[in-house]
Amino acid sequence: MPLLSFLKAVSRPVIDYALPPRCPGCGIIVDAEDAFCLRCWSGMQFLSDPCCARCGLPFDYDMGEDSACGSCLADPPPFDTARAVLAYGDVARRVALRLKYGRRIGLARLIARQMARHVGISDPPPLVVPVPLHRWRLWWRGFNQSALIADHLGKLLGLDVDKHGLQRIRATKPLRAMDPKRRAKAVRGAFALAGNHRFKGRAVILIDDVHTSGATAAACARVLKRGGASSVHLLCWARALPGRDEAAD
């Protein structure tokens, strides 16, 4: 056995005893790394078909492969599809906040693993692009949670990640307390393309942590398509559902 593998094998029990794996949702000790406890797992609403072909809003029953919700039919979003791992609820919220504000950056790997099942690989392969932070917020926080998720997703699926082609050129106020119209206005003109971007003719997977009104994703998608992206597919950890408390966009 190579020395490094031997050291890992003998040190693992010591590490597990001193720093046991904990549930990403509530923090109690669990059996394995990245495993949720039964209570948190049962409180998570995973999203899948049937859903709106455009925005991913879950349907109560199958309405057909290309069926869209009323909102998307009335005002189609600029992104081609949007999908999320979970409905935004207590557990999804705690994981997102622990990553973003609790500096639990290891949660980005867990989120990327869950996202990976929603990715279809095309030819040429899609380009993974995180929703960018303004430079001042990036300096204050120290990292972009969407970029961390994008890096892990790229490694898992063997996809290129572009963290610099899409830029946030204007700082915006937190969108949490705004209605949809004010959110859309707040992010208008906030994003731009870098001079050396490589989006022309490429399908783009746009990564964000939480999807609420869609204002941020829509603003990014418009800019990406102006840069020549053939399609934009939003992929998130969680999305707000109608009738539930919304998260920060």
Write out the chain's pLDDT in tens, 249 residues: 465 554 445 454 544 445 799 999 999 999 988 899 999 999 999 999 999 999 999 999 888 888 999 999 999 999 999 999 999 999 999 999 999 999 999 999 999 999 999 998 777 899 999 999 999 999 999 999 999 999 999 999 999 999 999 999 998 877 777 777 788 887 889 999 998 888 999 999 999 999 988 999 999 999 999 999 999 999 999 999 987 655 555
**pLDDT on residue 247:** 52
In the chain, list all ranges with CATH 3.40.50.2020: 45-239
Residue 246's nearest CA partner among 98, 111, 90, 88 is: 88
Give me the CATH topology for the region 45-239: Rossmann fold (3.40.50)
**pLDDT on residue 110:** 96
Q: Name the token pair of 197.
A: 């971007």
Q: Name the token pair of 171.
A: 């700082």
What is the distance between the alpha carbons of residues 175 and 227, in angstroms, rounded to a whole number?
26
Other beta carbons within 10 angstroms of residue 124's beta carbon come to 11
Q: Name the token pair of 213.
A: 């009104």
Q: Say which residue the tokens 């599809």 belong to.
A: 81
The secondary element (H helix, E strand) that includes residue 168 is strand 166-168
Instruction: Give this prediction's pTM.
Output: 0.88
